[in-house]
Amino acid sequence: MKLADRRTTKYVTEVKKIVRLRGHANNAEILADLRENYPDVSATTIHRVTQRLYEDGELRKGPACLDGSVRYDSNTERHDHFMCTMCGQVRDVSIPQACLSIIKCNVEDCSISGPLTVSGVCDSCKKMWREEE
Ligand SMILES: [Zn+2]
Ligand SMILES: [Zn+2]
């Protein structure tokens, strides 16, 4: 085993733990969390680890973050998301099959293959708005 591989292996467990704790996280968030315990860890290492976990099916990709970065998801079951367009937070939701059928009718001959993302404003952003008024 090459030294670089061994080092990566050590972080795999840590990265899995962080994503499970956060539910969803991008490489930058994982890196920031990991650096609290491992100040020397590099962005390239995290990139390699998340890519490997994704390829192994241990992580899924959720809706992209507002800055366009890949958001990893610890929930590997098929599920839909609500995403706040103000803060970019996502929440797992499950859209009933009946709704999917209605949507399917409206996309005509295209078929829905991937999970859905419903966009809107989350509760805490709504509260912030109200407080500013
Ligand atoms: Zn929000
Ligand atoms: Zn999710």
CA of 109 to the centre of ligand 1 (A): 34
102 and 51 share a domain? no
Distance CA(103)–CA(39), nearest Å, equals: 47
For residues 14-22, average pLDDT? 97
For residue 103, pLDDT over 70 is answered with: yes
66 and 109 share a domain? no
Q: What is the pLDDT of residue 82?
A: 97
45 and 84 share a domain? no
CA of 24 to the centre of ligand 2 (A): 6
64 and 87 share a domain? no
CA of 24 to the centre of ligand 1 (A): 14
Q: What is the pLDDT of residue 89?
A: 94
4 band by pLDDT with thresholds 50, 70 and 90: low
86 and 38 share a domain? no
Average pLDDT score over the chain? 91
Distance CA(59)–CA(47), nearest Å, equals: 13
CA of 26 to the centre of ligand 2 (A): 12
Q: What's the structural domain count of the chain?
A: 2
14 and 37 share a domain? yes
Ligand nearest to the CA of 119: 1
99 φ/ψ sector (left φ>0, alpha ψ -120 to 50, else beta): alpha
Question: In terms of residue numbers, what domain contains 22?
Answer: 3-72
